[in-house]
């Protein structure tokens, strides 16, 4: 699938496409065993600033989020580069990574000269400047003295915006059909363990992230949520006829896991979701029989009916107690 199709598939059937953090040496070995070399990863060129690369936003499922990774050492050489325009041998224009090497066109006014040196785009800019020229700014009346391909002074700023070096005045464009095509999506190569920029329309294998959590965006009381989770799917022994639940309402004794869970419940339609915390027999319990590790955070004598626990998707680092008859979304986990 192409990059967009792959991400949509992962979001529909799992959580999301794997992130750059999950593309590591251990994963490489598994990919190679499958006979696969390159896979899509959740890393994309920033549409607002073409020189930046940012991770996908797994929390919201939309857009990009996080630090610029364009200078990461995980890139294969030159692969994080921006896009620049090159004249092809057919005299039509094509986009390519600015780190690629081509011959050079320098210009002064409408006069355009071809130079046989082969340089990347940045070095081509300096080469022309040393000759007191610009990397070629092409106007409709310009005439090049060669039919060979080479760099010109047009580069991608952000999104579909292409500008001339030194704010050149020309509006002229001579793109080949289908151009400019840009390599704005990232892949991971399992053999080199490096990132590569690819055209997003290219077809590549991919991997999706998943966990044992299931957010249920249905509004139910705490008891209804408990029964719902336990009734999702049951593992039955054909010989004995005994069936065991494969899901349980989420038990979350370790506060260190809250940050991850908050990210997973971001798409809930209620501000808080039920978890498996319940006040019974004068104390707080998880539905698996464990006592909360941080019981001092909970009221020893909760308000009448506030005997069930929730977690909020908005930044709180502790459990919240609510009336068990209130209706809200909830989260289940698969029993392993």
* Residue 116 binned pLDDT confidence (cut-offs 50, 70, 90): very high
- Domain 3-79+184-209 in CATH 3.10.100.10? The answer is yes
What confidence score (pLDDT) does residue 299 get?
72
Please give the residue that has the higher pLDDT: either 57 or 78: 57
pLDDT in tens, 284-305: 899 988 877 776 677 777 777 8
CA 44 to chain CA centroid, Å, is 7
pLDDT band of residue 102 (cuts 50, 70, 90) is very high
Distance from chain centroid for Cα 125: 33
CA-based diameter of the chain, in Å?
91
Per-residue pLDDT reduced to its tens digit, 173-216? 999 998 888 889 999 999 999 999 999 999 999 999 989 999 99
Q: What are the b/e assignments for 254-276, b being 16+ CB within 10 Å?
A: eeeebeebbebbeebebebbbbb
Per-domain boundaries in the chain: 3-79+184-209, 83-167, 213-334
Note the pLDDT of residue 241: 63
Q: Which residue has the tokens 């020309």?
A: 170
pTM above 0.75, yes or no: no
- Is-same-fold flag (3-79+184-209; 213-334)? yes
Q: Which of 204, 203, 177 is nearest to 95 (CA)?
A: 177
User: What pLDDT is stored for residue 300 in this prediction?
Assistant: 75
- Give me the pLDDT at residue 145, please: 60
Q: Which CATH class is domain 213-334?
A: alpha beta
pLDDT tens digits, 16-43: 999 988 887 778 888 888 889 899 999 9
For 181-228, the DSSP string reads P---EEEEETTTTEEEEE-TTS---B-EE--SEEEEEEEE-HHHHHHH
């Amino acid at each position: 699938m192409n990059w967009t199709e792959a991400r949509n598939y992962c979001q529909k059937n799992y959580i999301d496409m794997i992130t750059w953090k999950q593309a590591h040496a251990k994963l490489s070995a598994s990919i190679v065993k499958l006979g696969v070399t390159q896979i899509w990863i959740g890393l994309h060129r920033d549409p607002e600033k073409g020189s930046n690369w940012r991770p996908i936003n797994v929390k919201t499922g939309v857009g990009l989020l996080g630090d610029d990774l364009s200078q990461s050492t995980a890139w294969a050489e030159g692969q994080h580069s921006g896009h620049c325009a090159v004249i092809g041998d057919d005299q039509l224009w094509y986009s390519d990574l600015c780190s690629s090497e081509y011959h050079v066109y320098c210009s002064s006014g409408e006069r355009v000269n071809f130079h046989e040196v082969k340089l990347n785009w940045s070095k081509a800019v300096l080469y022309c400047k040393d000759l007191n020229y610009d990397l070629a700014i092409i106007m409709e009346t310009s005439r090049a003295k060669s039919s060979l391909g080479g760099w010109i002074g047009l580069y991608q700023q952000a999104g579909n915006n292409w500008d001339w070096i030194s704010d050149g005045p020309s509006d002229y464009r001579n793109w080949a059909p289908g151009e400019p095509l840009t390599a704005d999506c990232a892949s991971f190569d399992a053999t080199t363990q490096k990132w590569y920029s690819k055209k997003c329309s290219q077809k590549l294998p991919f991997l999706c992230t998943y966990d044992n959590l299931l957010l249920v965006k249905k509004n139910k009381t705490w008891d209804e949520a408990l029964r719902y989770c336990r009734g999702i799917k049951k593992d039955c022994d054909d010989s004995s006829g005994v069936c065991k639940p494969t899901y349980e309402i989420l038990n979350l004794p370790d506060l260190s896991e809250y940050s991850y869970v908050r990210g997973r419940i971001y798409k809930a339609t209620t501000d808080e979701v039920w978890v498996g915390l319940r006040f019974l027999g004068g104390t707080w319990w998880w539905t698996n029989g464990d006592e909360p590790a941080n019981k001092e955070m909970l009221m020893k004598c909760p308000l009448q009916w506030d005997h069930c626990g929730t977690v909020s998707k908005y930044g709180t680092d502790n459990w919240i107690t609510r009336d068990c008859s209130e209706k809200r979304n909830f989260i289940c986990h698969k029993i392993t």
